[in-house]
Amino acid sequence: MDRRRLNVFSSPRDLLDGTERLSSVSVVHERLNEAIFSQRTTVGQITSIIMQDAGLTARLLRIVNSAYFGFPRKIDTISRAVMVVGTQQLHDLTLATSIVTLFRSIPERFVSMETFWKHSVACGLAARVLAGLNRESNVERFFVAGILHDVGRLLMYDKIPDLMDKVFTRAAERPQPMFTTEQEIIGYDHAAVGAALIEAWKLPGSLEEVVRYHHIPRNADRYRQEAYVIHIADAIAHSMQCGNSGEFFVPPIDEDAWKILGLNPGFLPQIFDLVDRQLEGVLNMFHKGG
Amino acid sequence: MAKIGINQLCEGMIVEDTVTDLRGTILLQKGTVITHNGIKILKTWGILEISIDEQSAAVHSISQESHVDARIMMEAAAKAETLFQHADRNNIFVKELIRLATNRIAMSWTEGG
Protein backbone atom coordinates (compact mmCIF):
# COMPACT_ATOMS: atom_id res chain seq x y z
CA MET A 1 0.00 0.00 0.00
CA ASP A 2 2.80 2.29 0.98
CA ARG A 3 4.51 1.93 -2.40
CA ARG A 4 1.34 2.88 -4.28
CA ARG A 5 1.30 6.21 -2.51
CA LEU A 6 4.94 6.74 -3.40
CA ASN A 7 4.66 5.77 -7.03
CA VAL A 8 2.32 7.64 -9.35
CA PHE A 9 3.27 5.17 -12.09
CA SER A 10 1.35 2.19 -10.78
CA SER A 11 2.16 -0.11 -13.70
CA PRO A 12 5.08 -0.48 -16.14
CA ARG A 13 2.81 0.75 -18.91
CA ASP A 14 2.18 4.05 -17.06
CA LEU A 15 5.92 4.63 -17.11
CA LEU A 16 5.88 4.70 -20.91
CA ASP A 17 3.34 7.50 -21.25
CA GLY A 18 4.80 10.57 -22.88
CA THR A 19 8.03 8.82 -23.74
CA GLU A 20 8.90 10.25 -27.11
CA ARG A 21 11.62 7.65 -27.66
CA LEU A 22 8.98 5.05 -28.43
CA SER A 23 8.08 6.13 -31.94
CA SER A 24 11.54 6.29 -33.50
CA VAL A 25 12.29 2.59 -32.92
CA SER A 26 8.97 1.55 -34.41
CA VAL A 27 9.64 3.52 -37.60
CA VAL A 28 13.02 1.90 -38.30
CA HIS A 29 11.78 -1.51 -37.23
CA GLU A 30 8.46 -1.46 -39.05
CA ARG A 31 9.87 -0.30 -42.37
CA LEU A 32 12.60 -2.89 -42.34
CA ASN A 33 10.24 -5.56 -41.09
CA GLU A 34 7.77 -4.90 -43.87
CA ALA A 35 10.57 -5.02 -46.41
CA ILE A 36 12.12 -8.22 -45.04
CA PHE A 37 8.88 -10.17 -44.78
CA SER A 38 7.56 -9.07 -48.13
CA GLN A 39 8.21 -11.73 -50.77
CA ARG A 40 8.87 -9.13 -53.41
CA THR A 41 11.52 -7.10 -51.61
CA THR A 42 14.92 -7.02 -53.23
CA VAL A 43 18.34 -6.56 -51.64
CA GLY A 44 18.36 -3.15 -53.32
CA GLN A 45 15.18 -2.05 -51.53
CA ILE A 46 16.45 -3.12 -48.12
CA THR A 47 19.75 -1.42 -48.86
CA SER A 48 18.00 1.83 -49.71
CA ILE A 49 15.93 1.78 -46.46
CA ILE A 50 19.10 1.39 -44.41
CA MET A 51 21.03 3.97 -46.40
CA GLN A 52 18.46 6.68 -45.71
CA ASP A 53 20.01 6.81 -42.23
CA ALA A 54 23.69 7.75 -42.52
CA GLY A 55 24.47 6.96 -38.87
CA LEU A 56 22.91 3.53 -39.17
CA THR A 57 24.76 2.82 -42.42
CA ALA A 58 28.09 3.67 -40.79
CA ARG A 59 27.33 1.59 -37.68
CA LEU A 60 26.29 -1.46 -39.68
CA LEU A 61 29.40 -1.32 -41.85
CA ARG A 62 31.54 -1.12 -38.71
CA ILE A 63 29.74 -4.15 -37.28
CA VAL A 64 30.02 -6.35 -40.36
CA ASN A 65 33.72 -5.50 -40.64
CA SER A 66 34.46 -6.24 -36.99
CA ALA A 67 35.79 -9.28 -35.18
CA TYR A 68 32.15 -9.97 -34.30
CA PHE A 69 31.70 -11.47 -37.78
CA GLY A 70 35.33 -12.02 -38.66
CA PHE A 71 34.87 -11.92 -42.44
CA PRO A 72 38.20 -12.28 -44.26
CA ARG A 73 37.57 -9.39 -46.69
CA LYS A 74 36.40 -5.85 -46.07
CA ILE A 75 32.70 -5.30 -46.76
CA ASP A 76 32.35 -1.75 -47.97
CA THR A 77 28.72 -1.50 -49.12
CA ILE A 78 25.40 -2.12 -47.40
CA SER A 79 24.16 -4.19 -50.34
CA ARG A 80 27.13 -6.54 -49.90
CA ALA A 81 26.48 -6.63 -46.14
CA VAL A 82 22.85 -7.57 -46.76
CA MET A 83 23.93 -10.40 -49.05
CA VAL A 84 26.69 -11.75 -46.82
CA VAL A 85 25.09 -11.34 -43.38
CA GLY A 86 21.48 -11.99 -44.36
CA THR A 87 18.45 -9.76 -44.06
CA GLN A 88 17.07 -11.09 -40.76
CA GLN A 89 20.42 -10.85 -39.01
CA LEU A 90 21.04 -7.36 -40.36
CA HIS A 91 17.56 -6.36 -39.25
CA ASP A 92 18.24 -7.59 -35.71
CA LEU A 93 21.53 -5.74 -35.54
CA THR A 94 19.85 -2.62 -36.88
CA LEU A 95 17.39 -2.88 -34.04
CA ALA A 96 20.10 -3.23 -31.41
CA THR A 97 22.13 -0.28 -32.69
CA SER A 98 19.01 1.90 -33.00
CA ILE A 99 17.95 1.28 -29.41
CA VAL A 100 21.41 1.96 -28.02
CA THR A 101 21.32 5.42 -29.58
CA LEU A 102 17.93 6.25 -28.01
CA PHE A 103 19.13 6.48 -24.45
CA ARG A 104 21.99 8.92 -24.41
CA SER A 105 21.99 9.97 -20.78
CA ILE A 106 20.69 8.94 -17.38
CA PRO A 107 21.54 10.31 -13.91
CA GLU A 108 25.19 9.33 -13.40
CA ARG A 109 24.64 8.60 -9.71
CA PHE A 110 23.05 5.28 -10.72
CA VAL A 111 25.35 4.01 -13.46
CA SER A 112 27.10 5.59 -16.43
CA MET A 113 25.76 4.84 -19.90
CA GLU A 114 29.13 3.32 -20.70
CA THR A 115 28.97 0.75 -17.88
CA PHE A 116 25.28 0.07 -18.57
CA TRP A 117 25.85 -0.80 -22.23
CA LYS A 118 29.04 -2.67 -21.44
CA HIS A 119 27.01 -5.06 -19.28
CA SER A 120 24.26 -5.30 -21.91
CA VAL A 121 26.68 -5.97 -24.80
CA ALA A 122 28.62 -8.54 -22.71
CA CYS A 123 25.31 -10.31 -22.01
CA GLY A 124 24.40 -10.14 -25.72
CA LEU A 125 27.75 -11.59 -26.78
CA ALA A 126 27.56 -14.39 -24.18
CA ALA A 127 23.98 -15.13 -25.31
CA ARG A 128 25.14 -15.34 -28.92
CA VAL A 129 27.85 -17.86 -27.99
CA LEU A 130 25.41 -19.93 -25.88
CA ALA A 131 22.87 -19.92 -28.72
CA GLY A 132 25.60 -21.07 -31.12
CA LEU A 133 26.52 -23.93 -28.77
CA ASN A 134 22.84 -24.90 -28.75
CA ARG A 135 22.73 -24.77 -32.55
CA GLU A 136 19.96 -22.17 -32.50
CA SER A 137 19.07 -20.57 -35.80
CA ASN A 138 19.72 -16.83 -36.16
CA VAL A 139 22.00 -16.29 -33.18
CA GLU A 140 21.79 -12.49 -33.71
CA ARG A 141 18.34 -12.40 -32.12
CA PHE A 142 19.95 -13.65 -28.89
CA PHE A 143 22.49 -10.84 -29.16
CA VAL A 144 19.61 -8.35 -29.42
CA ALA A 145 17.78 -9.93 -26.47
CA GLY A 146 20.97 -9.66 -24.41
CA ILE A 147 21.40 -6.00 -25.38
CA LEU A 148 17.81 -5.28 -24.30
CA HIS A 149 17.46 -7.46 -21.19
CA ASP A 150 17.90 -4.58 -18.71
CA VAL A 151 16.60 -1.73 -20.91
CA GLY A 152 13.67 -1.22 -18.51
CA ARG A 153 16.11 0.11 -15.91
CA LEU A 154 17.09 3.00 -18.19
CA LEU A 155 13.49 4.15 -18.27
CA MET A 156 13.21 3.75 -14.48
CA TYR A 157 16.36 5.83 -13.87
CA ASP A 158 14.93 8.45 -16.21
CA LYS A 159 11.29 8.56 -15.04
CA ILE A 160 11.36 7.57 -11.36
CA PRO A 161 14.85 8.52 -10.10
CA ASP A 162 13.63 9.18 -6.53
CA LEU A 163 12.21 5.68 -6.23
CA MET A 164 15.36 4.21 -7.75
CA ASP A 165 17.35 6.10 -5.08
CA LYS A 166 15.26 4.27 -2.48
CA VAL A 167 15.89 0.95 -4.29
CA PHE A 168 19.66 1.56 -4.18
CA THR A 169 19.56 2.51 -0.50
CA ARG A 170 17.58 -0.57 0.48
CA ALA A 171 19.67 -2.82 -1.79
CA ALA A 172 22.76 -1.74 0.15
CA GLU A 173 21.05 -2.68 3.43
CA ARG A 174 19.50 -6.02 2.51
CA PRO A 175 21.14 -9.10 1.05
CA GLN A 176 18.64 -9.66 -1.75
CA PRO A 177 18.68 -9.28 -5.53
CA MET A 178 17.98 -5.82 -6.94
CA PHE A 179 14.91 -6.93 -8.89
CA THR A 180 13.28 -8.12 -5.64
CA THR A 181 13.98 -4.72 -4.07
CA GLU A 182 12.47 -3.01 -7.13
CA GLN A 183 9.31 -5.10 -6.73
CA GLU A 184 9.09 -4.22 -3.02
CA ILE A 185 9.52 -0.48 -3.45
CA ILE A 186 8.02 0.21 -6.87
CA GLY A 187 5.55 -2.64 -7.30
CA TYR A 188 7.22 -4.05 -10.42
CA ASP A 189 10.75 -4.64 -11.64
CA HIS A 190 12.97 -3.64 -14.57
CA ALA A 191 12.14 -6.87 -16.41
CA ALA A 192 8.43 -5.91 -16.52
CA VAL A 193 9.28 -2.37 -17.63
CA GLY A 194 11.61 -3.70 -20.34
CA ALA A 195 8.88 -6.04 -21.58
CA ALA A 196 6.39 -3.14 -21.70
CA LEU A 197 8.91 -1.06 -23.69
CA ILE A 198 9.46 -3.89 -26.16
CA GLU A 199 5.73 -4.33 -26.55
CA ALA A 200 5.30 -0.59 -27.18
CA TRP A 201 8.10 -0.71 -29.76
CA LYS A 202 6.11 -3.49 -31.48
CA LEU A 203 9.13 -5.78 -31.41
CA PRO A 204 8.72 -9.58 -31.68
CA GLY A 205 6.81 -11.36 -28.89
CA SER A 206 9.80 -13.63 -28.31
CA LEU A 207 11.91 -10.62 -27.23
CA GLU A 208 9.16 -9.40 -24.93
CA GLU A 209 8.87 -12.78 -23.21
CA VAL A 210 12.61 -13.32 -22.91
CA VAL A 211 13.17 -9.89 -21.34
CA ARG A 212 10.18 -10.29 -19.00
CA TYR A 213 11.42 -13.63 -17.66
CA HIS A 214 15.18 -13.26 -17.79
CA HIS A 215 15.39 -13.52 -13.98
CA ILE A 216 12.74 -16.27 -13.66
CA PRO A 217 13.10 -18.21 -16.94
CA ARG A 218 11.01 -21.16 -15.73
CA ASN A 219 7.95 -18.88 -15.82
CA ALA A 220 8.38 -18.25 -19.56
CA ASP A 221 5.93 -20.02 -21.82
CA ARG A 222 6.65 -20.20 -25.56
CA TYR A 223 10.24 -18.99 -25.41
CA ARG A 224 11.50 -20.68 -22.25
CA GLN A 225 14.71 -21.97 -23.84
CA GLU A 226 15.54 -18.46 -25.09
CA ALA A 227 14.79 -17.00 -21.64
CA TYR A 228 17.23 -19.54 -20.13
CA VAL A 229 19.93 -18.46 -22.60
CA ILE A 230 19.61 -14.81 -21.52
CA HIS A 231 19.38 -15.85 -17.85
CA ILE A 232 22.75 -17.62 -18.04
CA ALA A 233 24.28 -14.97 -20.33
CA ASP A 234 23.36 -12.34 -17.71
CA ALA A 235 25.01 -14.43 -14.97
CA ILE A 236 28.14 -14.75 -17.14
CA ALA A 237 28.29 -10.99 -17.82
CA HIS A 238 27.95 -10.35 -14.07
CA SER A 239 30.62 -12.94 -13.28
CA MET A 240 32.96 -11.28 -15.77
CA GLN A 241 32.21 -7.94 -14.08
CA CYS A 242 31.90 -6.36 -17.49
CA GLY A 243 30.01 -3.15 -16.87
CA ASN A 244 26.91 -2.91 -14.72
CA SER A 245 23.27 -1.97 -15.05
CA GLY A 246 22.60 -1.40 -11.36
CA GLU A 247 22.77 -4.88 -9.80
CA PHE A 248 26.03 -5.35 -7.96
CA PHE A 249 25.85 -9.09 -7.40
CA VAL A 250 25.39 -12.09 -9.68
CA PRO A 251 21.60 -12.61 -9.69
CA PRO A 252 20.19 -15.95 -8.45
CA ILE A 253 20.72 -18.68 -11.05
CA ASP A 254 17.96 -21.21 -11.81
CA GLU A 255 19.38 -24.62 -10.82
CA ASP A 256 17.98 -26.32 -13.95
CA ALA A 257 19.36 -23.74 -16.40
CA TRP A 258 22.64 -25.57 -17.06
CA LYS A 259 20.94 -28.87 -17.78
CA ILE A 260 18.27 -27.26 -19.97
CA LEU A 261 20.96 -25.57 -22.07
CA GLY A 262 23.05 -28.76 -22.18
CA LEU A 263 26.09 -26.90 -20.90
CA ASN A 264 29.38 -28.28 -19.65
CA PRO A 265 31.39 -26.25 -17.07
CA GLY A 266 34.38 -26.64 -19.43
CA PHE A 267 32.67 -24.24 -21.88
CA LEU A 268 32.71 -21.33 -19.46
CA PRO A 269 36.38 -20.24 -19.86
CA GLN A 270 35.95 -20.17 -23.63
CA ILE A 271 32.74 -18.15 -23.37
CA PHE A 272 34.54 -15.62 -21.15
CA ASP A 273 37.37 -15.51 -23.68
CA LEU A 274 35.09 -15.02 -26.69
CA VAL A 275 33.19 -12.22 -24.93
CA ASP A 276 36.47 -10.56 -23.93
CA ARG A 277 37.79 -10.70 -27.48
CA GLN A 278 34.70 -9.07 -29.03
CA LEU A 279 33.49 -6.72 -26.31
CA GLU A 280 35.57 -3.58 -26.85
CA GLY A 281 35.21 -3.74 -30.62
CA VAL A 282 31.42 -4.02 -30.47
CA LEU A 283 31.16 -1.22 -27.89
CA ASN A 284 33.24 1.08 -30.09
CA MET A 285 31.00 0.34 -33.04
CA PHE A 286 27.89 1.21 -31.08
CA HIS A 287 29.18 4.47 -29.74
CA LYS A 288 31.42 5.98 -32.41
CA GLY A 289 29.68 8.42 -34.67
CA GLY A 290 26.23 7.69 -33.09
CA MET B 1 48.15 -22.80 -34.28
CA ALA B 2 49.34 -25.26 -31.61
CA LYS B 3 49.56 -29.03 -32.16
CA ILE B 4 48.76 -30.74 -28.90
CA GLY B 5 49.28 -34.39 -27.98
CA ILE B 6 46.15 -36.27 -27.05
CA ASN B 7 47.36 -36.68 -23.45
CA GLN B 8 47.81 -32.92 -23.02
CA LEU B 9 44.30 -32.09 -24.26
CA CYS B 10 42.03 -30.47 -21.70
CA GLU B 11 38.29 -29.96 -21.65
CA GLY B 12 37.38 -26.48 -22.79
CA MET B 13 40.10 -26.13 -25.46
CA ILE B 14 38.85 -25.33 -28.97
CA VAL B 15 39.62 -27.45 -32.06
CA GLU B 16 41.54 -25.37 -34.66
CA ASP B 17 41.31 -27.76 -37.64
CA THR B 18 38.58 -30.33 -38.29
CA VAL B 19 39.78 -33.78 -37.21
CA THR B 20 38.98 -36.73 -39.47
CA ASP B 21 39.74 -40.43 -39.45
CA LEU B 22 41.83 -42.03 -42.22
CA ARG B 23 38.82 -42.30 -44.52
CA GLY B 24 37.92 -38.66 -44.08
CA THR B 25 34.97 -39.13 -41.73
CA ILE B 26 34.72 -36.10 -39.47
CA LEU B 27 35.40 -36.85 -35.80
CA LEU B 28 35.52 -33.28 -34.43
CA GLN B 29 34.58 -30.16 -36.37
CA LYS B 30 36.74 -27.03 -36.37
CA GLY B 31 35.55 -24.79 -33.52
CA THR B 32 34.34 -27.66 -31.31
CA VAL B 33 34.96 -27.23 -27.59
CA ILE B 34 36.85 -30.25 -26.31
CA THR B 35 34.90 -32.32 -23.80
CA HIS B 36 35.59 -35.55 -21.95
CA ASN B 37 33.59 -37.33 -24.65
CA GLY B 38 35.57 -35.63 -27.43
CA ILE B 39 38.85 -36.85 -25.94
CA LYS B 40 37.37 -40.35 -25.72
CA ILE B 41 36.39 -40.26 -29.42
CA LEU B 42 39.91 -39.19 -30.43
CA LYS B 43 41.48 -41.96 -28.34
CA THR B 44 39.08 -44.54 -29.77
CA TRP B 45 40.11 -43.61 -33.31
CA GLY B 46 43.80 -43.60 -32.49
CA ILE B 47 44.38 -39.88 -33.09
CA LEU B 48 47.73 -38.89 -31.55
CA GLU B 49 47.65 -35.09 -31.78
CA ILE B 50 45.33 -32.33 -33.01
CA SER B 51 45.53 -28.59 -33.70
CA ILE B 52 44.12 -26.42 -30.93
CA ASP B 53 43.21 -22.73 -31.11
CA GLU B 54 46.24 -21.01 -29.57
CA GLN B 55 44.30 -18.51 -27.53
CA SER B 56 42.09 -21.21 -26.01
CA ALA B 57 45.22 -23.18 -25.10
CA ALA B 58 46.84 -20.08 -23.59
CA VAL B 59 43.76 -19.09 -21.59
CA HIS B 60 43.54 -22.62 -20.32
CA SER B 61 47.10 -22.69 -19.11
CA ILE B 62 46.74 -19.26 -17.42
CA SER B 63 43.66 -20.36 -15.52
CA GLN B 64 45.35 -23.65 -14.61
CA GLU B 65 48.59 -22.22 -13.39
CA SER B 66 48.12 -18.51 -12.68
CA HIS B 67 51.20 -17.47 -10.76
CA VAL B 68 49.43 -14.78 -8.84
CA ASP B 69 50.55 -14.02 -5.30
CA ALA B 70 48.64 -16.32 -2.92
CA ARG B 71 47.48 -13.44 -0.68
CA ILE B 72 46.02 -11.54 -3.65
CA MET B 73 44.36 -14.74 -4.81
CA MET B 74 42.73 -15.23 -1.40
CA GLU B 75 41.43 -11.65 -1.31
CA ALA B 76 40.11 -12.05 -4.85
CA ALA B 77 38.38 -15.28 -3.82
CA ALA B 78 36.70 -13.47 -0.91
CA LYS B 79 35.46 -10.73 -3.25
CA ALA B 80 34.14 -13.33 -5.70
CA GLU B 81 32.31 -15.12 -2.87
CA THR B 82 30.50 -11.84 -2.06
CA LEU B 83 29.68 -11.35 -5.73
CA PHE B 84 27.95 -14.75 -5.77
CA GLN B 85 26.04 -14.36 -2.50
CA HIS B 86 22.69 -14.92 -4.23
CA ALA B 87 23.83 -17.99 -6.18
CA ASP B 88 24.07 -21.64 -5.07
CA ARG B 89 27.79 -21.85 -4.41
CA ASN B 90 27.76 -25.65 -4.29
CA ASN B 91 26.59 -25.96 -7.90
CA ILE B 92 29.52 -27.10 -10.11
CA PHE B 93 28.79 -24.42 -12.72
CA VAL B 94 28.64 -21.70 -10.09
CA LYS B 95 31.90 -23.05 -8.64
CA GLU B 96 33.49 -22.70 -12.08
CA LEU B 97 32.10 -19.15 -12.47
CA ILE B 98 33.51 -18.27 -9.04
CA ARG B 99 36.90 -19.70 -10.01
CA LEU B 100 36.95 -17.69 -13.24
CA ALA B 101 35.74 -14.53 -11.49
CA THR B 102 38.43 -14.97 -8.82
CA ASN B 103 41.12 -15.24 -11.51
CA ARG B 104 39.82 -12.12 -13.27
CA ILE B 105 39.76 -10.10 -10.05
CA ALA B 106 43.26 -11.27 -9.12
CA MET B 107 44.61 -10.53 -12.61
CA SER B 108 43.03 -7.05 -12.65
CA TRP B 109 44.58 -6.23 -9.29
CA THR B 110 47.96 -7.57 -10.39
CA GLU B 111 47.89 -5.71 -13.72
CA GLY B 112 46.59 -2.55 -12.07
CA GLY B 113 49.67 -2.53 -9.86
Q: Domain A2-287: which topology?
A: Hypothetical protein af1432 (1.10.3210)
Are B93 and A176 an interchain contact pair (Cβ–Cβ within 8 Å)?
Answer: no
Q: What is the pLDDT of residue A289?
A: 47
Are A268 and B96 an interchain contact pair (Cβ–Cβ within 8 Å)?
Answer: yes
Enter the ipTM. Answer: 0.83
Taking the alpha carbons of B66, B72, B73, B79 in that order, is the dihedral positive or negative?
A: negative
Longest CA–CA separation in chain A, Å: 61
Asked whether the predicted pLDDT for residue A13 surpasses 70, the reply is: yes
Decide: residue A166, CB within 10 A, 0-12 exposed, 13-18 middle, 19+ buried: middle
Q: Looking at chain B, which residue has its C-alpha nearest residue A265?
A: B93
Q: Which amino acid, residue A258?
A: W
Q: Looking at chain B, which residue has its C-alpha nearest residue A251?
A: B86
Rounded mean pLDDT, A135-142: 85
Q: Residue B88: list chain A partners with CB under 8 A.
A: 253, 255
How would you classify the pairing of strands B19-20 and B26-28?
antiparallel
B113: pLDDT confidence band, cut at 50, 70 and 90?
low
Q: Looking at chain A, which residue has its C-alpha nearest residue B14?
A: A270
Q: Can you give the pTM of this predicted structure?
A: 0.76
Q: What is the pLDDT of residue A227?
A: 97
- Can you identify the CATH homologous superfamily of domain B2-62? Molybdopterin biosynthesis moea protein, domain 2 (3.90.105.10)
Q: Looking at chain B, which residue has its C-alpha nearest residue A249?
A: B83
Rounded mean pLDDT, A51-79: 82
Asked whether the predicted pLDDT for residue A79 surpasses 80, the reply is: yes
User: Smallest CA–CA separation between A63 and chain B, in Å?
Assistant: 22
Q: Which residues contact A154 (CB under 8 A, 6 or more apart)?
A: A103, A106, A116
A66-78 pLDDT tens trace: 777 778 888 888 8
B41-55 pLDDT tens trace: 999 888 989 998 876
Taking the alpha carbons of A232, A236, A242, A245 in that order, is the dihedral positive or negative?
A: positive
Cα angle: A217, vertex A238, A92; to 5 degrees: 65
**Domain limits of chain B?**
2-62, 68-111
A231-260 pLDDT tens trace: 999 999 999 999 999 998 999 999 999 999
B15, B97, B99: best mutation site toward chain A, by most A Cβ within 10 Å?
A: B97
Q: Are A103 and A147 in contact (CB under 8 A)?
A: no
Q: Taking the mean position of all CA atoms in its chain, how far away is CA A287?
A: 15
User: Smallest CA–CA separation between A16 and chain B, in Å?
Assistant: 31
Alpha-carbon gap, residue A249 to A241, rounded angstroms: 9
As a whole-number percent, the residues of chain A with pLDDT over 70 amount to 90
The number of residues in chain B equals: 113
Residue A176 forms contact with B (CB below 8 Å): yes
Q: What is the pLDDT of residue B73?
A: 77
Residue B34 forms contact with A (CB below 8 Å): yes
Alpha-carbon gap, residue A225 to A233, rounded angstroms: 12
Q: What is the pLDDT of residue B63?
A: 52
Q: What is the pLDDT of residue B89?
A: 87
User: Smallest CA–CA separation between B11 and chain A, in Å?
Assistant: 6
Q: Taking the mean position of all CA atoms in its chain, how far away is CA A159?
A: 19
